[in-house]
Amino acid sequence: MVAKNSQLQLSDCGTNLRRPQYTDISVTCGTKSIGLAILICPAIYTGYNESLLILNHIMNGPACKGTLDESVTPPVLRFEFPLNTTNSCGSHFRTTSAAGTAIFSDFSNLQTVNISGVVRSYDPTTGTVTYNAELKYFYSCAYPLEYLINNTQIDTSASSIAVKDNNGSFISTLSLNLFSDDNYSSPLIIPKQGLELRTKICARVQATNLTSHYHVLLDQCYASISPQPDSDNSTIFNLFGPCSTDPLTVIKENGESQRACFSFPAFRFMEQPNEMMSTYFLHCITRLCEESACSTLKQCNNRRRRSAVPQTVDGVTGYTTISSTPIAIRAESVVAIKEQQTASNNSDASTGLGVVVGFLCILVIIMAAVFYRRLNR
């Protein structure tokens, strides 16, 4: 990006000088920030320059001012701001709910955060009339709470996701990390050939930038071959749910602090029998809740069908699914190893038998020669 200190002039636009159109703005909805690019020549044609296009009425915020980029043709005015309610340059955050589908069909509500705003023109005219048309460039980005940041690295297992509370007072970051020890201090390293079966996998979901009033509660954690938690075509293995826990899964902490921890032994899916590695993903349906609400939600109460807590309930956020990076398990076949060992043993036995037979043949020949000589005498 190349920015100039002097303002762009009419003569600098050439053939790009025209009236504004609806397509003059492009929006990039990133995982960490939102980017806006506005064609500047139509604004200059209308009577404005790059300093007169204001993001969400913020006049004096240096971080929220546009930057002129003349390295592209036609030149654009760029804005970029982070996905954070404290410094998102006045963007409006709104949470909406919709019924869940596929793996989330048991939930009556799934939340989506819509981030929107507008870049307006500021008319410096002080007289009675003006000849400048008012310009408004609206932008909007929707972020489903259940979206996951895809990380396909196998060396270490970790992922993160952004969530938002009910009233929009904060955005927290949930991270899912895999460890090899009960103290959750040694990250799980997955070799290229995969983990051995029954290797202990310790999982931790932790929240950062979270107020002390909220705890992390895992409502359900399961594994599936698909990296997408809502895939209809993937077999799932439930590690634990609201009213059930697999016998080999150990829940160490859940709903008691700003982290939740559990462990399970490495396994493989039966539908991948002939593959060199069995690869699957861990998905945890998570929500944030106040201490008293967490204690209530942890009780089963014969709740056979889960339903998302309505937005009007205090102290509970909506559901969010966070997923791990791929967990690869190496292929092991005891039968194949034993067959190789048996074949090897048979080969050794055949070799030994051949030596004995050969020795006996030589002995018979020697004895026959001795008897022949004696008969001749």
Measured in whole angstroms, the distance separating CA 283 from the mean position of its chain's CA atoms is 10
Pairwise CA distance, residues 30 & 83, whole Å? 9
Mean residue pLDDT across the chain: 75
**Above 70 in pLDDT, residue 375?**
no
Residues 31-46: tens digit of each pLDDT: 778 999 999 999 999 8
Pairwise CA distance, residues 25 & 128, whole Å? 31
Helix (H) or strand (E) holding 213: none
Residues 244-293: tens digit of each pLDDT: 899 999 999 998 888 999 999 999 888 776 677 888 999 998 888 877 77
* Choice between 231 and 20, residue whose per-residue pLDDT is larger: 20
Is CATH 3.40.50.10860 correct for 158-330? no
Pairwise CA distance, residues 102 & 193, whole Å? 32
Pairwise CA distance, residues 181 & 175, whole Å? 18
Specify the residue for token string 């998302």. 308
Residues 64-122: tens digit of each pLDDT: 999 999 999 899 999 999 877 667 898 887 767 666 665 555 555 556 777 889 999 99
CATH 2.60.40.4100 maps onto the chain at 158-330
CATH 2.60.40.3210 maps onto the chain at 10-144
Domain 10-144 CATH superfamily: Zona pellucida, ZP-N domain (2.60.40.3210)
Residues 177-222: tens digit of each pLDDT: 999 999 999 899 988 888 988 899 999 998 876 667 778 889 889 9
